[in-house]
């Protein structure tokens, strides 16, 4: 939660973690980046692998200035702001501006359930949720938000398990005119073995429909661990 209680007091908010790794997923997979995981998410996907980030009162409180210093201490000027659902965090927009002012190129990982604020983000990675997430459609599909992300040239990353998921991706692509070359399919799985097991099928579906395959490099390299 963001607090600017009294004049002169620092801007503060809650984060789950800050770490330096490589982008594990999506269009820039393999690129070194500092990750800032903002605390808080109300979406509630059944297979979420960062449930520790759900409680907006969890994690640790940081001053914005200190958070930017923590990120800038790493030898990298690419930052992935993630969550939780980062757009639910009141720290999000001030953080984007502060990191930009320090020369960071910015990617944002979002569920696409909230419309993007007008902030200078270089790459929006929208991981829209399918029925298999267990989240009611009214919560996971926000047509206005989707249209606004489309206008920003977002990438669309879908976690898929089976043919029903791919069929749903195709319906969403048609309904919202999402360019297929901006869609990535990613195998569901928090363990290396299950990710690898599903990957050939996902790759074949990508070939079939003109989507792009997204690996989960952090899981392949380090398994189900935090901070990688
Ligand atoms: S939107 Fe992301 S952080 Fe929130 S429950 Fe779903 S996968 Fe987890």
Q: Could you read off the pLDDT of 183-227 as tens digits, one per residue?
A: 999 998 878 888 999 999 999 999 999 999 999 988 888 887 777
Pocket flag, ligand 1, residue 52 (CB < 6 Å): no
Pocket flag, ligand 1, residue 132 (CB < 6 Å): no
CA of 132 to the centre of ligand 1 (A): 13
Reported pTM: 0.94
| pLDDT recorded at residue 227 | 74
| pLDDT recorded at residue 7 | 60
The span from the CA of 222 to the CA of 210, in Å, is 29
Instruction: For residue 216, give Cα distances in angstroms to 30, 32, 143.
Output: 10, 14, 27
Domain 12-222 CATH class label: alpha beta
Pocket flag, ligand 1, residue 166 (CB < 6 Å): no
Pocket flag, ligand 1, residue 43 (CB < 6 Å): yes
Contact 167, 142 (CB under 8 A): no
What are the residue boundaries of the structural domains of the chain, listed by start?
A: 12-222
- Say what percent of the chain tops pLDDT 70: 96
For 8, how many CA atoms within 13 A lie in the half-sphere containing its CB?
Answer: 0
CA of 54 to the centre of ligand 1 (A): 8
| Best mutation site among 45, 58, 134 for ligand 1 pocket (most ligand atoms within 8 Å of CB) | 45
Average pLDDT score, the chain? 94
pLDDT digits (tens, 9 = 90+) for 9-64: 789 999 999 999 999 999 999 999 999 999 999 999 998 989 999 999 999 999 99
């Amino acid at each position: 939660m963001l607090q600017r209680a009294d004049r002169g007091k620092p801007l503060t908010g809650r984060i789950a973690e800050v770490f330096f790794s490589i982008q594990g997923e999506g269009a820039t997979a393999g690129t070194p980046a500092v990750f800032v995981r903002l605390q808080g998410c109300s979406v509630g996907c059944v297979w979420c692998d960062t449930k520790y980030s759900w409680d907006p009162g969890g994690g640790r409180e940081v001053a914005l200035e200190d958070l930017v210093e923590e990120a800038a201490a790493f030898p990298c000027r690419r930052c992935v702001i993630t969550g939780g659902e980062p757009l639910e965090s009141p720290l999000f927009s001030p953080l984007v501006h502060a990191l930009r002012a320090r020369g960071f190129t910015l990617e944002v990982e979002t569920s696409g359930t909230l419309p993007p604020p007008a902030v200078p983000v270089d790459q929006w990675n929208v991981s829209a949720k399918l029925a298999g997430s267990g989240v009611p459609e009214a919560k996971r599909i926000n047509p206005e938000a989707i249209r606004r992300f489309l206008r920003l040239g977002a990438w669309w990353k879908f976690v898929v398990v089976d043919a029903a998921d791919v069929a749903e991706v195709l319906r969403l692509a048609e309904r919202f005119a999402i360019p297929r070359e901006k869609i990535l399919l990613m195998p569901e799985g928090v363990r290396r073995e299950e990710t690898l097991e599903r990957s050939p099928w996902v790759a074949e579906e990508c070939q079939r429909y003109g989507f792009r395959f997204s690996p989960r490099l952090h899981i392949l390299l380090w398994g189900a661990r935090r901070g990688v």
